[in-house]
A and B are shown apart, each in its own frame.
Chain A
Amino acid sequence: MDFERFVFYVFAIILIYAAGRVITVRNPVHAALHLVLAFFTCAGLWLLLEAEFLAITLVLVYVGAVMVLFLFVVMMLDINTSPLREGFIRYLPVGLVVASLMLLEMFLVVGARNFGAQSVAIPERHGADYSNTRELGNVLYTDYVYPFEIAAVILLVAIVAAIALTMRKRPETRYQDPSRQVSVQPEDRIRIVKMPAEREQS
């Protein structure tokens, strides 16, 4: 077993463990932290595949930005997890049957027979001067320029949708509006009401 293979197995075992913990731990903060671990090991595996750029992006974007944000949300919201597990036992048997059937069928197809190592050519090794960031950029702006642009539009839609759905003027929130304060007129503030001193005799 050469060193590379050893590293692979170490990362793979940690990844599987971390992923398993994400869905089994009760505490959401722990789950999120396990997810961070899973991302890290995954990045390590990608490095082995010479996908340096993607590996770094994974760490930067998912670990650095997304997961931190997620942890904030989880900590601030204090989610009660017990109701989510209601009915878990009730549906477990039928769920298990369906899942195992599905699994069986998938094994039939996605087995070594169809996707084994011999059915795919071994990828070419590149030297140290090879920049896969550059290659990625190349295909991204040629072969995949159209999907790339559409993906950008999808992100724009996500922003628009998020803002449209969450931002609102709350009438109960009090804030100062200087322009209104400056342009205020006396009539806006007081109303002079004239009343007869006594009720008229009918």
Chain B
Amino acid sequence: MNTIQVAEFGLLLPEIFVLVMTCVVLVVDLYLTERNRDVTYVLSLLTLAGAALLTLGNYPSGTTVAMYGTFVHDPMGGLLKLFIYVVTAGVFIYSRSYLRDRGLYKGEYYVLGLFAMLGMMVLVSAHSFLTIYLGLELLSLSLYAMVAFDRDSPTASEAAMKYFVLGALASGMLLYGISMLYGATGSLDIGEVGAAVAGSEDRSIILIFALCFVVAGLAFKLGAVPFHMWIPDVYHGAPTSVTLFIGSAPKIAAFAMLMRLLAESMGGLQPDWQGMLAILAVLSLAVGNIIAIAQTNLKRMLAYSTISHMGFLLLGVLAGTPEGYSAAMFYAVTYALMAIGAFGMIILLSRSGFEAERLDDFRGLNNRSPWFAFIMLILMFSMAGVPPTVGFYAKLSVLEAVVAIDMVWIALVAVFFSIIGAFYYIRVVKLMYFDESESDEPINVGMDMRLAISANGVVVLALGLFPGALLSLCAAAFP
């Protein structure tokens, strides 16, 4: 009988630390009154910092499989985890004042957030279908609860209900696909399945069948058309502080899931899933960008924009080359940064009893605060892909990857729809700079939020000016 070496636990240290700290937060929070809630907040941020230190301290240089083949320690996982910490920290900081103004400033928000993050971490370094599924459920379950967190809001409850039911349906599809794969290959280990799939001479019909179900489950998680229906309703219905979370970090985890399931375990079926992803990508780009134009609610608009961005992400993955994977990874992490920034701006402008989620609430922002208008300008430009912001490089590298495999038509389609998409991003800029503001309420938020959102905007710009380091980090994850 083989045993686990103590050193293997060292690889899991960030996960273990986050779990322990989450339990600590859960218990400590019981003894806190409303006034001392900041302790929970600070503890949660410290948890993230500690996890980041642990991840950095044992940053993977090669691939190590541990825990009887259920866990993998590799550069892709390391980098994605770091970004997940950063994005989650941003989410926590942005949410604080929002939650407090609405009487939602409770420890459970942070506990559930940390559990969701743990789920993402599990997902990111999963090396078995079982771990993938469990990580996904841990993440989803926490998110369902967070969406319903504002119990007095009927829209939030409705959104949670929809998310839950549809999520269960998608999980079912994913599980069904996985069980087919198990039946065909006799293993749940990603490495073994990968070898078995690559080894099978004729791409058997069971594998294709399994693939369809797996892709459907993945597409739901990413929000690709036609599995996207939940996104606008959930984004819109959930409290903004939760939308902020759902719209950012889980996208990084979803990318990891995509990589683990498709590229690593079903790399042998690349020609087949390339076609499926191409269909999903084109539909997502088209539907996301076109419907976003008709939206008057910023949260809904950003929801559709997410759909179109996921279309772009799929483009990188479907290329099936290391360049494509690293481009998609770059896209995922930079998109998460832009998304928290954009939702963070909504939180920044909203106050007790007022959700600044209509497009009109951004009118004349430049008169109220030129700096924050500028940050929003950077974020919108970045989402639209205007140089020199990072969004430009993200789109560029993804397009390069597709062109490199001679799928020029799909690159042209992507460019066409992102031009249509640029319209609604730039409309926000126009509203901020050229229209009269409806209110002259001063922007009143804490220093931590101001600094974080400023840093967020600056990072989006700085990564656009100096994308080299991050690009090479992403490339290093796929040798």
Number of A-B pairs, beta carbon distance below 8 Å: 79
How long is the Cα–Cα vector from A146 to B26 in the complex, in angstroms?
Answer: 22
A143 touches B144 (CB 8 A): no
Which of B87-95, B127-135, B216-224 lies at the binding interface?
B127-135
The residues in A between 163 and 187 inclusive whose CB is less than 8 angstroms from any CB of B are: 164-165, 168
- How many residues does chain A have at the interface if contact means C-beta atoms less than 8 Å apart? 24
Shortest distance from the beta carbon of A110 to any chain B beta carbon, whole Å: 8
Which of A65-73, A75-83, A148-156 lies at the binding interface?
A148-156
B112 touches A164 (CB 8 A): yes
B183 touches A115 (CB 8 A): yes
A161 touches B112 (CB 8 A): yes
Most buried by B among A115, A142, A147, A165: A147
- B420 within 8 A of partner (CB): no
Q: By DSSP majority rule, is chain B's interface helix, strand, loop, or mixed?
A: helix
Residue of chain B at shortest CB distance from A151: B134
Q: Which one, A108, A109, A145, A165, contacts B145 given CB within 8 A? A: A165
Shortest distance from the beta carbon of A120 to any chain B beta carbon, whole Å: 9
A160 touches B206 (CB 8 A): no
- B137 within 8 A of partner (CB): yes
The residues in B between 118 and 132 inclusive whose CB is less than 8 angstroms from any CB of A are: 118, 122, 128, 130-131
Shortest distance from the beta carbon of B360 to any chain A beta carbon, whole Å: 33
A160 touches B115 (CB 8 A): yes
- A133 within 8 A of partner (CB): no
Which of B63-71, B438-446, B469-477 lies at the binding interface?
B63-71
- A74 within 8 A of partner (CB): no
A108 touches B108 (CB 8 A): no
B68 touches A145 (CB 8 A): yes
B118 touches A153 (CB 8 A): yes
- A114 within 8 A of partner (CB): yes
A109 touches B148 (CB 8 A): no
- A158 within 8 A of partner (CB): yes
A161 touches B142 (CB 8 A): yes
Q: Which one, A114, A150, A157, contacts B122 given CB within 8 A? A: A150
The 9 listed contacts between A and B (C-beta, < 8 Å) are A114-B205, A115-B183, A142-B2, A142-B4, A147-B128, A153-B118, A157-B138, A157-B145, A161-B144
- Given contacts A161-B142, A164-B149, list 7 more A-B pairs with CB under 8 A: A114-B205, A114-B206, A142-B3, A150-B135, A161-B144, A164-B106, A168-B151
A interface residues with partner B (beta carbon < 8 Å): 105, 108-109, 114-115, 138, 142-147, 150-151, 153-154, 156-158, 160-161, 164-165, 168
